[in-house]
Structure 1
Amino acid sequence: MQWLYSGRITVLWSSEPTNEVDSSYNPTDDLIEQYLFGGRMMDPTFQNAAIKALMDCLSNGYSFPRAGLVRDVYKGTMADSPIRKLLLDIVVNGADQSWDFSALLERAGEEFTKDLIVAFAAKRPKPDCSEILMVKVGGGDDPVEPNVAGENCDKPEHNNESNDSDTDTDSDTDSDVSEERIFHIHKSVLCKTSAFFQNATKPEWTAPTPRPIDLSDELPEIFHLYVQWLYSGKIAVEIMSSSDSDTEVRKHENVDYHSLIQSYILGEKLMDTTFQNAVLQCLIECVEQADCFPGDRTIKTAYKRTIKHSPLRKLLVDFWVWHGDSEGAADDMNLSLGTDFTNDLLKAMLEARPSPDTSAEKVQPPWLTHPEIYSIKGNKKTAKDTSNSGDVAKE
């Protein structure tokens, strides 16, 4: 009667709403009964008002109606009743581990339980049903150097300006023919960040019959690291045992930096800057945590297969600028690290060198303050016999 004259449904609010099912008093119980009463009176306008008041109560912290009333709702309403949908949505979107589901399902009835299972199934995240693509990796010749020739290079053909002996000392798994492997990857995952795969899967490049995307000149184990990153967002890092007999490694390399460098190079071919940036960040974290950084062989590989001004080159140079020492450097750095890296390192060292203290009265270079460091150390007899040989003749 009040609603007929005022257009409002009266709700007795409690100062402390409870979230327990079947509490002593819950205004949502009254609203469920009013909805059922409106059904018997065939007054859908009143029923809609009851549903709106019910949603207001739930938004103010009041709990789910008594399970017995849920059974009454299912007995007194049709299958497509909006009150049924509301009750299901409340459970699917608002229930947590504190709910007593066993009591709720037992008292609410079998029909509500079936509808609830269907509602939860519809809410469950759907698996990725996008097209599955095949990628053939390995089985070909040496990996091709990406983007190292053409307009983006300062010279017609990118190579390390070194002799044949340099090539012999830098042999690694890249020069071996790797075993072919077929990867099956969701198209939506494969094309998410790679411009290479986005272009390769365009309709104009797609064959009438499905064929694997050809990456036969790449290493399967490196592409596997890329696939792991595609699905997990994390770079897998292999920890190796250090070898005291490895004289080519400047420091004991207990992180497989070579695979990380190869991963960066693969990202360059796949035109996936997101992956490349992830690899660079992983390199930085490994250097900081493992207290070691890429060795000579790894650096030479990076320089052979990247272009000038590559962020990877700059990072490797900076590792040496800040962590390198003369004890770890080879006698012939051009041979062990390559001419390009050595030149970049020299320039970076000059830039990082602190300027002389200009606040001093007069700054003298070392050849004036300590000229003895440039003297040839001979035996005493020779030094005595030729003691005046270096004197400047005076007229």
Structure 2
Amino acid sequence: MDQSQPNHSYRGGGRGGRSRSGEMSWGVRGAQPDRGAQSGRGAQPGREAQPGREAQPGRESQGDRGGRGVHDSSVLTAVMRQPQDPRKNPSGSLKLGIEIVMVFVGDSATPIPVHRELIAASSGLFAIVLNGNFRERDGTVRLTDQSPSDFAYYIQWLYSDHFDKEPKAVSWRQMLRLNVLGSFLQDRYFRNATVDALIENTRSSRSFPGILAAPAFEQLPESSPLRKLLVDFWVYQSSLSWFTDSLVIDYDSDTNVAPVEFWIEVTKGLLARSSLDSQRPWDTDRCRYHEHPEGEQKCT
């Protein structure tokens, strides 16, 4: 019997951390240019600023997204060493500076403090609102459409490279929400870290997150490496038992566990895979599931 079973405790395509104003919307209320100032790219007075191309963090001149199974949760840790960590100085120390920003998340009345230089270096969104002609440059930022618990994991990672606080168990669904949060925050380095953490936890739990296919294909763009990773789990790790009706269709809600696009990619991968190709790509070259701009050094 195959001991590596996909976890399918998540039913259907929940929206995870997707903002109410639409995927990849800012969700920053009051992020408006000062009166008399010229707006930046696409930012119009009286409207919430809209993101364009993902900005480059760390540059001030430019602005840089329950269960049936026994392995429904895992402890998140980031392990891959990625190049050019924007959070760190050449010496390896964090870019802290002396200024503190107060971030109000969701409906919480309690702000989360974070070093201004650090978060602006890592998050393109914060680089824009803190360094541009927006009200947030005074040091108060409101992320009204985000989850306080998800953002707390982001802050934990920002300072320590780890997502777990105690450590504590984090569900597969929350792993996906953190990746979506990374897109919202325009933090590519953080998104790569969530992919690494998910891979590590498939090893420690000896299970695979089949439950993520539907929400991932709903919330992530086609270019997302995480979508590719979820497909490859099925292509390289699945057995006949993975394709039972209970994993393909959720009879309680009479819905597909994954969209047609997912199964098409899985089928193409199975047909293209050589019978001699027994090595799992996330073991041999994890960097293929990372996002790196052209010319950037690959992970080590």
The reply on whether 1:227 has 2:155 as its aligned counterpart is yes
Q: Which has the larger radius of gyration?
A: 1
Q: Which residue of 2 aligns with 1:196?
A: 125
Unaligned runs of 5+ in 2: 1-92, 250-254, 277-300
Q: What per-residue deviation string (whole Å, max 9, x for no partner) do you get for residues 55-95 of structure 1?
A: xxxxxxxxxxxxxxxxxxxxxxxxxxxxxxxxxxxxxxxxx
2: distance between equivalents of 1:207 and 1:263? 23
Q: Which residue of 1 aligns with 2:185?
A: 270
Contact 1:265-1:305 at 8 Å conserved across structures: yes
Given the superposition, is the C-alpha separation of residues 257 and 180 from structure 1 closer, same or farther in structure 2, using an over 3 Å criterion? Answer: farther
Q: Which residue of 2 aligns with 1:349?
A: 270
Q: Which residue of 1 aligns with 2:216?
A: 302
Given the superposition, is the C-alpha separation of residues 321 and 191 from structure 1 closer, same or farther in structure 2, using an over 3 Å criterion? Answer: same
Q: Which residue of 2 aligns with 1:131?
A: 99
* Structure 1 residue 207, shift from structure 2 partner: 5.4
The reply on whether 1:313 has 2:281 as its aligned counterpart is no
Contact 2:97-2:116 at 8 Å conserved across structures: no
CA RMSD of superposed structures (Å) = 2.7
Higher helix share: 1
Given the superposition, is the C-alpha separation of residues 260 and 180 from structure 1 closer, same or farther in structure 2, using an over 3 Å criterion? Answer: farther
Contact 1:235-1:278 at 8 Å conserved across structures: no
Q: What per-residue deviation string (whole Å, max 9, x for no partner) do you get for residues 329-348 of structure 1?
A: 34245701222212221111
Given the superposition, is the C-alpha separation of residues 266 and 335 from structure 1 closer, same or farther in structure 2, using an over 3 Å criterion? Answer: same
* Structure 1 residue 214, shift from structure 2 partner: 2.5
Q: What per-residue deviation string (whole Å, max 9, x for no partner) do you get for residues 343-387 of structure 1?
A: 2211111111539xxxxxxxxxxxxxxxxxxxxxxxxxxxxxxxx
1:94-173 counterparts in 2 under 5 A?
Answer: 128=96, 130-139=98-107
TM-score in terms of structure 2 length: 0.52
Q: What per-residue deviation string (whole Å, max 9, x for no partner) do you get for residues 274-322 of structure 1?
A: 11111111111111222112132x2222111101131000111111112
Q: Which residue of 1 aligns with 2:111?
A: 182
SS in 2 for 1:350: helix
Higher strand share: 2
Q: Which amino acid aligns with 1:221?
A: S
* Structure 1 residue 136, shift from structure 2 partner: 1.8
Given the superposition, is the C-alpha separation of residues 194 and 128 from structure 1 closer, same or farther in structure 2, using an over 3 Å criterion? Answer: closer
Q: Which amino acid aligns with 1:187?
A: R
TM-score in terms of structure 1 length: 0.40
User: Aligned residues, how many?
Assistant: 175
1:15-94 counterparts in 2 under 5 A?
Answer: none
Q: Which residue of 1 aligns with 2:82?
A: none
* Structure 1 residue 224, shift from structure 2 partner: 0.6
Contact 1:138-1:220 at 8 Å conserved across structures: yes
* Structure 1 residue 180, shift from structure 2 partner: 5.8
1: distance between equivalents of 2:261 and 2:234? 14
Runs of 4+ in 1 over 4 A off after TM superposition: 237-240
* Structure 1 residue 204, shift from structure 2 partner: 1.2
Contact 1:137-1:220 at 8 Å conserved across structures: yes
